[in-house]
């Protein structure tokens, strides 16, 4: 038996997160991911950890992700960042955050990231970027900054995600102010002696929080959260299954430098003012796609039967012509059925369209379906 | 109980007195895969060469091939693991068997790894 799709080749030297000992104490299976040794699952396994998050609350270590401050005079960081992203960053109110995209000149996506206005006066933005892209992102951002604005990577902070319907109840016992946050709100709090930055956000489709904690206090903070009877640790395997159920993109799979926000269904990230001024990278190409329609679009796919269709599976139209390919695919723990997302020709991107997935030399029938596969339950 | 042999591809094989071999994946394999969510089995009567890919097992994260450990003809497949793939995780060494082969050459069975050799092989991984 040979695994044909699975774990990355281990690089020579892996970095560890501040929660490394805690993972091992919880019988995590550690795998290399983006240069870090990360827990892919714990003893209960991906299915049980996914259900834990959907039904109660789960703690994820996402400390491999890149965190950085962008600091300058009030207002300056937002104006500087807008040269690289299509989002309305200057319109971000104090202590609010927004999902945005670093774009290249062709309108391709260099990375997706969260930007928080973590100040009362707009002097400080907190950026959270993908682990696999952080060095490239930080170099790119730093190179584009005018004098007087500093990018300061936060190497000494862990990032924890607490997700699930019971997440607010659990975190609220330690940090009542955090439980009072609205969706996509941010706060800087001192909890149990730790200076944390917490946002009401996540990557699972559930209500929850992402919490930046100083590395030295991260293990004790995580251990306190895990004392709650509603809470259990969940690994990157569950995180990937949950985000796919929520229809959320994974950078490197579903979006990359060759996909645009229009193709990816992320047009909503382009701010209204930005769409008037067209002053972001790739604006010409993106405007053309908005006016004339892109050639392909990201869609949800529901294979018939039980066989999962993995990333890179070719998609054919009902008439046998080439339709596109799957970019993320697997088994949904919540639906107990295979789900996938991918790109198809625009004429096939309508919900209900029948397509064929070419899995191991056979054509498996599938339908184009709306996403998310599992309804979002963010705090409204 | 019949003698159990193993392959470096993490299959187990048990040969009964009628020359029929039952094949499954090992405890190590099911653990490494994690939660199994899909199994595809060969058709009955299919003739297999030694080492031929003939079944598929998929976990949430990964897809893997299962190979014929020895040459032979498929005489039965375990539909229970198609209906309930998690059975492979729970009972990999017995109820979670994959298929039965009418073995062409019983000597080929003797050439497979015995338990000690397989255990020693796992320690090299």
Cβ distance A41 to B34 less than 8 Å, yes or no, reads yes
Looking at residue A170, its pLDDT comes to 98
User: Out of A43-47, A215-219, B16-20, B25-29, which region has the weakest mean confidence (pLDDT)?
Assistant: B16-20
Distance in angstroms (rounded) separating the CA atoms of residues A312 and A310: 6
Cβ distance A306 to B64 less than 8 Å, yes or no, reads no
**Average pLDDT over every residue of A251-267:** 98
pLDDT at A5 over 50: no
A83: nearest Cα among A31, A29, A144: A144
Question: Which H or E element spans position A169?
Answer: helix A167-174
What phi and psi values does residue B62 have, to the nearest 5 degrees? Answer: -140, 155
Closest CB from B33, B38, B61 relative to A306: B38
**Average pLDDT over every residue of A213-220:** 98
Edge-first strand order for the sheet with B72-77 is B4-6, B11-15, B20-25, B99-103, B72-77, B47-48
Eight-class DSSP state of A28: -
Q: CB within 8 A of A131, min separation 6: which ones?
A: A33, A34, A35, A36, A64, A65, A66
Higher pLDDT, A341 or B17: A341
Distance in angstroms (rounded) separating the CA atoms of residues A59 and A54: 12
Provide the number of CB pairs (under 8 Å) joining chain A to chain B.
70
Cβ distance B11 to A1 less than 8 Å, yes or no, reads yes
Cβ distance B58 to A308 less than 8 Å, yes or no, reads yes
pLDDT (tens digit per residue) in A60-119: 999 999 999 999 999 899 999 999 999 999 999 999 999 999 999 999 999 999 999 999
Distance in angstroms (rounded) separating the CA atoms of residues B24 and B54: 12
Distance in angstroms (rounded) separating the CA atoms of residues A20 and A25: 9
Distance in angstroms (rounded) separating the CA atoms of residues A163 and A57: 5
pLDDT band with cut points at 50, 70 and 90 for residue A48: very high
pLDDT (tens digit per residue) in A301-338: 999 999 999 999 999 999 999 999 999 999 999 999 99
Distance in angstroms (rounded) separating the CA atoms of residues A277 and A281: 12
A233: nearest Cα among A48, A27, A59, A40: A59
CA A330 to mean position of chain CA atoms: 17
Strand A57-61 and strand A231-233: pairing? Answer: parallel
pLDDT (tens digit per residue) in A6-36: 445 555 689 999 999 999 999 999 999 999 9
Closest CB from A1, A46, A310 relative to B66: A1
β partners of residue A103 = A109
Distance in angstroms (rounded) separating the CA atoms of residues B25 and A2: 11
Give the domain ranges of chain B.
4-119
Eight-class DSSP state of A244: H
Place of tokens 């004392």: A227
Closest CB from A237, A338, A360 relative to B61: A237
- Return the CATH fold of B4-119: OB fold (Dihydrolipoamide Acetyltransferase, E2P) (2.40.50)
Answer for the pair B14, B21: CB distance below 8 angstroms, yes or no: yes
Distance in angstroms (rounded) separating the CA atoms of residues A103 and B18: 66
Cβ distance B37 to A331 less than 8 Å, yes or no, reads yes
Place of tokens 């070719």: A314
Q: CB within 8 A of A250, min separation 6: which ones?
A: A240, A243, A244, A328
SS3 A379: coil
Eight-class DSSP state of A93: P
Instruction: Tell me the nearest-neighbour CA distance from A331 into chain B, angstroms.
Output: 6
Place of tokens 């190179």: A143
Distance in angstroms (rounded) separating the CA atoms of residues A206 and A59: 12
Looking at residue A4, its pLDDT comes to 45
CA B83 to mean position of chain CA atoms: 17
Within chain B, strands assigned E span 4-6, 11-15, 20-25, 36-40, 47-48, 53-59, 63-67, 72-77, 99-103
């Amino acid at each position: 038996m040979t695994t044909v799709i699975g774990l990355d080749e281990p690089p020579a030297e892996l970095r560890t997160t501040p929660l490394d000992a805690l993972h091992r104490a919880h019988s995590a299976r550690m795998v290399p991911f983006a240069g870090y040794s990360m827990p892919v699952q714990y003893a209960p396994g991906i299915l049980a950890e996914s259900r834990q998050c959907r039904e109660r609350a789960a703690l994820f270590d996402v400390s491999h992700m890149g965190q950085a401050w962008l600091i300058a005079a009030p207002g300056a960081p937002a104006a500087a960042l807008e040269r690289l992203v299509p989002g309305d960053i200057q319109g971000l109110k104090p202590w609010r955050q927004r999902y945005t995209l670093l774009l290249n000149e062709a309108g391709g996506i260099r990375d997706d990231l969260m930007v928080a206005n973590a100040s009362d006066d707009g002097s400080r933005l907190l950026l959270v970027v993908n682990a696999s892209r952080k060095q490239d992102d930080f170099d790119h951002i730093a190179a584009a900054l005018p004098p007087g604005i500093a990018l300061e990577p936060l190497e000494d902070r862990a990032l924890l995600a607490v997700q699930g319907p019971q997440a607010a109840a659990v975190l609220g016992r330690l940090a009542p102010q955090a439980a009072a946050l609205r969706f996509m709100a941010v706060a800087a709090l001192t909890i149990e002696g730790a200076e944390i930055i917490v946002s009401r956000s996540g990557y699972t489709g559930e209500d929850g929080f992402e919490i930046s904690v100083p590395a030295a206090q991260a293990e004790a903070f995580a251990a306190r959260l895990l004392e709650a009877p509603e809470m259990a640790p969940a690994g990157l395997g569950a995180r990937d299954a949950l985000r796919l159920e929520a229809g959320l993109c994974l950078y490197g799979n579903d979006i990359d430098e060759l996909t645009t926000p229009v193709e990816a269904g992320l047009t909503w990230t382009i701010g209204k003012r930005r769409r008037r001024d067209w002053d972001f990278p790739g604006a010409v190409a993106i405007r053309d796609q908005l006016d004339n329609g892109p050639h392909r679009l990201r869609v949800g796919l529901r294979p018939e039967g039980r066989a999962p269709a993995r990333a890179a599976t070719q998609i054919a139209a009902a008439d046998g012509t080439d339709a596109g390919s799957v970019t993320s695919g697997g088994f949904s723990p919540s639906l107990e059925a295979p789900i996938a997302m991918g790109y198809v020709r625009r004429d096939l991107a309508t919900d209900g369209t029948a397509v064929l997935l070419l899995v191991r030399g056979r054509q498996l029938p599938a339908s184009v379906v709306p996403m998310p596969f599992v309804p979002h339950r963010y705090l409204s | 109980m019949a003698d159990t042999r193993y392959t470096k591809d993490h299959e187990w094989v048990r040969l009964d007195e009628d020359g029929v071999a039952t094949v499954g994946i090992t405890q190590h394999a099911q653990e490494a895969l994690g939660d199994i969510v899909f199994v595809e089995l060969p058709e009955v009567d299919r003739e297999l060469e030694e080492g031929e890919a003939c079944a598929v097992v998929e976990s949430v994260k990964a897809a893997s091939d299962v190979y014929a450990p020895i040459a032979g003809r498929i005489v039965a497949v375990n539909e229970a693991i198609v209906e309930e793939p998690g059975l492979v995780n729970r009972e990999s060494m017995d109820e979670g068997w994959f298929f039965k082969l009418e073995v062409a050459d019983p000597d080929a069975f003797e050439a497979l790894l015995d338990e000690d050799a397989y255990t020693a092989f796992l320690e090299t991984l």
